Structure 1
Amino acid sequence: MKKNYYQKVTLLGVLLIFLFGFQKYTGTENDNFPAVKFASENINSVTISEFDPNELDQKQWQKLGFSEKQTETILKYKTIVGGKFTSKEQLKKCYAVSADKFAELESFILLPESSKSGDFKSFEKKSIVVVKRFNPDQSTAQDWIKMGFSEKQAEAILKYKNYLGGSFISKEKFKECFIINEENYQKLASYLILPEKTPANFKSFNKNFSNEKQKIQYRNFDPNSLDIDGWKTLGFSDKQANTIVNYRGRILRGSFKNLEDIQKCFVISAEKFAELKPFIKLNQTSSTNTAQKNEPKQEKTDFSKLDLNTITFRQLLEFGLDERSAGSMIGFRKKLGGFVNKEQILQTYNIDKDLVEKLLSICALNSSGVQKYTLIDAPEDWLKNHPYFKYSADKIIYYRVSNPDDRKIWKLLKVKPEYEARMRLYLK
């Protein structure tokens, strides 16, 4: 009897607990649960404005909607393609940029649609590209360079603006800038935020330039007798004056022979040469002797007979490169094991591109001595240290163990076409 009694009591207790729990559960329908928010509901569409992908840092890429890992990939890809995106087409090939994301950004990217083809693209004349209306009075040197003008041209355009008093005044006056040829003007005209005609009171704008010009009192001078300080008194910076003296001593063997020699010096703009020309008095006999006394003797090198794969650090300095440019070029050549084409040289960081382009137009390039391998027999150290192979070295070493065939390895690597093209330069 007692046993049955306790069993009934236990059963009743369990039943009461169950009923109490059920009641509490069903009574929560009126409780204020926090609203469930999905991540997709909180992602606001990114407000995008026109941008140059070459100017974006890691945080700015992330603001466009890319993850930290995607951003690192994009910046690494930019380094691999030479440190600069040259077209939308090139950016699109980065695997961190999906087709949908590229389609979203494409109309805002300030780059041409595609790069010009050719083995030596850096020597091709840049075309002027304008993507929106702009006030040229507000454009900096960098803005003009982005449009396709060279650094020297950008500098000359700004000097012309200063000549006009700090403003281009009108499309009519803008067109008179000697840097702006008819073809370029036609491309720019419809984008210029300027009046069509020059105002009647234009002469009053010349005041600033007149005052600026009075600071330099030009007198007759012999360019072969001027030292660095002498060139600085003519309005050149320290760097420009050094370049002129080096150009005279190392390229021209100690003296300017004629006015054309002076005009060819790339730091002397056409406008500056026009200012100096009436005062230049060349005295070749005495000036040559003076130049030889004042300047250290330079090794006379015929650069047309030099090979870019054997040119020395000292010879690069003799040509006019500074130590940083010369060191970068020699260092990159050493890492590559030799240059295969001239375009690689212009991809070197920290070089004076204007001066190096002149060097490339004079010197020959013999790549017959460059060591080349197959993917099968390439030494591991070579793969891991070569700038073009080091990012794929581990994969190559792994794949070739079980697939000793170059064609199969290429299929497994799945590298982008531009990377493969660079790698094949050093393969048999």
Structure 2
Amino acid sequence: MRNNYYRKMAILGVSFLTLLAFKKYTDDKESKFPEISFVEDASSNIILSEFNPNDLDSEEWQKLGFSENQSRTILKYKDIVGGNFISKEQFRKCFAVSKEKYAQLEPFLLLPESGKSTSNFSNSFADKKSLTISGKFNPDHFSEADWRKMGFSEKQSAAIIKYKDYLGGSFVSKEKFKDCFIINDENYKKLEPFLILPGKTPANFNSYASKSASNIRLEPFNPNSLDVKGWMGLGFSEKQATVIVNYRDRNLKGNFRSLDDIKNCFVISKEKFDVLKSFIKLDPSTINNKPLAKTELKQEKTDFSKTDMNSITFKQLLEFGLDEKSAGSMIGFRKKLGGFMTKEQILETYNIDKELVQKLLSIAPLDNSKVERYTLIDAPEDWLKNHPYFKYSADKIIYYRISNPDDRKIWKLLKTKPEYEARMKLYLK
């Protein structure tokens, strides 16, 4: 009994000490628990009212909660899109404006929802209804004045020309033209049917894209001593440089005699000429030469959209940029055929610059209505023996048609490959 008594007293003592320790622990924890305070977002203190984002400067954007860098970016973006935001939709696309920030500002923006209503914004993008397009055109030949006449603002027109110069002086293709940030989707859809440009960008476009103008250091130069590489060093593409040299050597008999001679070369844009003219140094001995006749000095500009590939001349092919070898091969092949029936035939010509010819074919029409065609029965023997598609079968045709005066029977006897037969039938009635 005594042992049980002591055991119970010991258990009670341990329990009492445990309760005292727990109470002390909980009292200490409550006294040391840190006080929590929340940092209020600075932007929540901004009191917003309706405003026009086109009226704000950098300091005022910062008052709306943007950083100094973000404010600069917003102002730069505004200049890029034409000097004014024309809609909430356009403002939202500025990458310095987060989704959350836009949601906060949107109810207070004094802008239309989309860019369709532009009557109150004089410097906005040209609306699709405001563009004036007179017909098909090559945008490579347009100056700033031409773009303004079409309906673009002065800043937009200058930006389009700068973009063309960045590409190397040519828009190259409809794809590249569409990439110009000034040309929005609506305007491109309206312009696209009238563009005299290839649809697709050549695979090796980067190999003849010109150098950026910012990387070119200009020094005084004699344009009569420059070769193709020399003109490329001034920022022209290889194709453009070739045209300039051919124009000088063939049209002007080897020498530019005045600044107007250079200005008249159609691959040298007005903007590019203005950049170069103060560095052009003509040889006095060349200037004193008797000038060429006025008709020779001015380069005739061919409208290739109206030039039939079955009547295009050697000189016109050189004007487009082909070298003598390519132009000669094309004219020679056309003469042997008696005329092209399809544009695909032209690309089969040996020794041509296929990429440049492809660009020409996307512009120029082909009229095959005047090309001579015969039946196998009545085709002249000389024609059969000299035509590139028939000459290897000419003797058989002449032999078979004596006893089988029927085209269908002759074809069965010839047993030519389907691809050869298809080419031959282009020139048969």
TM-score normalised to structure 2 length: 0.39
